[in-house]
Structure 1
């Protein structure tokens, strides 16, 4: 049975990573691009674990065999469908143990060439965490701006033109504020964030610089690595300024219009507002927010939240960064992106080509 290391995986052509762990394990953290073909369901894995603790290893193995045996033909068929005629299946479990060993053996017995990832997902995580600081360039353009200045949209416009952008909110599955999870679910786990950050850095291939938003260390459920925070703290700082009316429209478009008719929306807004109200010192602002919430006047809440909470808090956060700020006054996000491009040209920092032949981003 052939094993493959993480280093060898990076050089392999057409690998298809098959993660045979249970769905709950896969959801908590997986190799980017991996396909979940679970050997056991969550319930079956739990049952086997109980038997292992109660009756020992042999009894647990026998139960596992009883569960897996009827599944083998469909399991192998599914893997073959995912790999196609030219893909190489790379079988992976938690730490390269019995599950991946069994599935790789089944494939080989059926005439399908496969490889077993040495160390499994655990090896990938150790490898990726080690590589993240090594792949980080020392220079970063850091995009600042008060809530509603379209920083994420500006990043997307720059990314579309080939600039080396890292969208931290996308990697975190969260917008970074108390309202940041609305419409996005619970946000990504730390393991998922780390894996996606590594994948993005590997795709960029350590360019001369990166462009990132000035997010707080914690974004939703995740915490950014210290090395990344250091690069941003001492980066080249760009401050976007947009008119208030533009900010209000952008926030409405992102946080209200897509979701306000959903049955869960009002309770989500109410819960987030309860957390914010404790930090607002102006009684009139609190009263207006409560009144607008009762009336479901979500649009009326935006300006009050900006003026009484987000804008004052933002001014304090700027003190966490070192160096001068380049102010970009713009009428729209498109205008802001163009002016940032002009500034990057002044710094002799242009777009980069992300090579598709550099190797796999694992």
Structure 2
């Protein structure tokens, strides 16, 4: 039996295993974060059916789709079975149309209990956007400020691994928050995926009184932070993370150059990143950067960028929170993480005993 279910009902049913039957290209662009892709059509097949629909009409497109799909049915059923072990399949496509109906019908004919998402991915996207527009953030944010390279992202990731609630917005956005934000092993995400990851993370931590977050700007790579979160950041508890200049340079080199095995490509990427900000640099600085990039002297490139571009900009914004902030040295990341955990635990203890923070 095929059971149609709303987005809210689906999100509250932990036994469901979400199966996105759209094409791989659609899935790669945006989907439900934990969904598995079992495409009814691959990208080329989807394009063929779409062209047929436009040129010959709905009936001919359906006939073509049936011819394409028929040999795949046993494989589709096996893929869904493998993807949903221990749960029940929830099938969805773009708007709850023919693709999800077809796969759900195949499963039903095989006597497999199956759910179908009403309205498809479009309904899910509308649900997430609506919830974020009116989100009630009850937690107070502990906001990590600090110059580039002090280790804010590393601290957040280590806190998260130890079970401390963290909003890692750079991870959600697939960006590291600078002109060099896409260098290295990182894949930029679009607004749809960012919104989904943010919403579900907030829901997971909705009963937590305090969350850690980095002091990101409104725009993070390709995405925008919602207004309510930016307001909560401003009203949060500021922690200024500090580290020595040499330590910061070394961390930046490790972060951005890790895993890069093509020196020529790296050189092109660095040159391209510098070109996006060079109009804000004096001519003599641009000249030296070009020279150092040509020599592939990455340490000196980083030193120049910190001294002449990033540090002056961040120091200006940091002055706004200096007076009321907690200062934290992060030359030793493990010690910094322990200090953050102590801050978090102290605040939670005060909340538990109703002592104002």
Same topology, TM > 0.5: yes
Most deviating of 129-138 and 226-235:
129-138
Which consecutive unaligned segments of at least 5 residues does structure 1 have? 353-362
Q: Does 1:113 align with 2:101?
A: no
- Residue 96 of structure 2 corresponds to 96
Match of 1:360 in 2: none
TM-score (norm 2): 0.91
CA contact (8 A) 1:6 1:127 kept: yes
- State the 1:130 CA deviation: 2.7
State TM-score, norm by structure 1.
0.90
Q: Is the Cα contact below 8 Å between 2:135 and 2:228 reproduced in 1?
A: no
* 1:188 correspondence with 2:189: yes
- Per-residue CA deviation, residues 35-79 of structure 1 (Å, 9 max, x unaligned), is 101111111111211221222211211111111111111111211
Q: Match for residue 39 of structure 1?
A: 40
- Residue of structure 2 equivalent to 1:333: 333
**Do the aligned partners of residues 272 and 56 (structure 1) sit closer, same or farther apart at CA in structure 2, a change above 3 Å counting?**
same
For the 8 Å contact 1:256–1:298, the answer to whether it is kept is no
**Alpha-carbon distance in 1 for matches of 2:348, 2:202:** 21
How far apart, CA to CA, are the structure 1 residues paired with 2:349 and 2:163? 12
Structure-2 separation of matches of 1:44 and 1:308 = 52
CA distance in 2, matches of 1:46, 1:115: 27
Q: Which residue of 2 aligns with 1:324?
A: 324
**Partner residue, 2:18:** 17
Q: CA deviation at 1:112?
A: 1.1
1:124 matched residue in structure 2: 124
Q: Answer yes or no: is the 8 Å Cα contact 1:135–1:205 preserved in 2.
A: no
Bigger RCO of structures 1 and 2 (CA < 8 A, at least 6 apart): 1
8 Å contact 1:234–1:323 — kept in the other structure? Answer: no
**For the Cα contact (< 8 Å) 1:21–1:38, is it kept in 2?**
yes
Change (3 A) 1:185 1:245: closer
1:270-309 matched pairs, under 5 angstroms: 270-281=271-282, 283-309=283-309
Offset at residue 231 of structure 1 (A): 0.9
Query: Shift in Å at residue 276 of structure 1?
Result: 2.0
Does the 8 Å CA contact 1:236/1:323 hold for their aligned counterparts?
no
Q: Give distance in 2, aligned partners of 1:300 and 1:33.
A: 42
How many Å separate the matches in 1 of 2:272 and 2:25? 27
Q: Which residue of 2 aligns with 1:200?
A: 201
CA distance in 2, matches of 1:139, 1:267: 42
